[in-house]
């Protein structure tokens, strides 16, 4: 494996993804990420300097919606997805900036 992922990197990626990893999982993740980057290196061997970067797999553009209200009040159904609810709202652990 050409790419070696450091402990710091895996720790940082874990923080960004809000994941708590065990030592074992960290080692596995380091290996997986290293091989992914190896694969990216392989792709990078191809000269793409003359190719426009692609942001979408289908050759389509301008899919729009007209500005007309169609959705009604479906709160009851939406809140069925909430693990906890209160006063018509999703209830979450206290978050203060």
Partner 1 sequence: MSKQYETVIGLEVHVELATKTKIFCSCSTEFGGAPNTHTCPVCTGMPGSLPVLNKQVVEYAIAVGLATNCTITQNCKFDRKNYFYPDNPQNYQISQLYLPICRNGSVEIETEEGKKSIGIHEIHMEEDAGKLIHDDWDDCSLVDFNRSGVPLIEIVSEPDMRSAEEVIAYLEKLRMIIQYLGASDCKLNEGSMRADVNLSVRELGAEEFGTRTEMKNLNSFKAIARAIESERERQIDLLESGEEVIQETRRWDDTKEYSYAMRSKEDAQDYRYFPDPDLVPVVISDEWLEEVRKRQPELRDEKMARYAKEYEIPEYDISIITSSKHLADIFEETVAICNNPKKVSNWLMVETMRLLKEHDMEPEDIRFSPANLAKLIELAESKVINSSVAKEVFEKVFDEDINPEEYVEKHGLKAVNDEGALRATIEKIVEANPQSVEDYRNGKKKAIGFLVGQTMKEMKGKADPGMINQILTDILEG
- Are the C-beta atoms of residues 40 and 32 closer than 8 Å to each other? no
Cα gap 86→89, rounded to integer Å: 5
Orientation angle between helical segments 7-16 and 23-44, nearest 10 degrees: 100
Residue 94 lies near partner 1 (rule: CB under 8 A): yes
28 binding partner 1? (CB under 8 A): no
Q: Candidates 4, 36, 40, 92: give the one binding partner 1 (CB under 8 A).
A: 92
Q: Report which of 26, 23, 24, 22 is spatially closest to residue 10, judged by C-alpha positions.
A: 26
Query: x-or-dash pattern for partner 1, window 46-75, by CB under 8 A?
Result: ---------xxxx-xxxxxxxxxxxx-xxx
| Residue with smaller CB distance to partner 1, 23 or 97 | 97
Q: Where on the chain is the footprint of partner 1 (CB under 8 A)?
A: 16, 18, 55-58, 60-71, 73-75, 78-79, 81, 84, 86-97
């Amino acid at each position: 494996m050409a790419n070696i992922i450091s402990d710091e990197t895996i720790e940082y990626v874990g923080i960004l993804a809000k994941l708590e990893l065990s030592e074992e999982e960290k080692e596995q993740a380091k290996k997986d990420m290293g091989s992914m980057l190896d694969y990216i290196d392989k792709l990078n061997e191809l000269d793409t300097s003359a190719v426009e970067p692609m942001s979408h797999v289908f050759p389509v553009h301008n899919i729009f919606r007209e500005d007309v209200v169609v959705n009604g009040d479906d709160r009851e159904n939406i809140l069925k997805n909430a693990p906890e609810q209160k006063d018509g709202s999703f209830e979450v652990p206290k978050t203060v900036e």
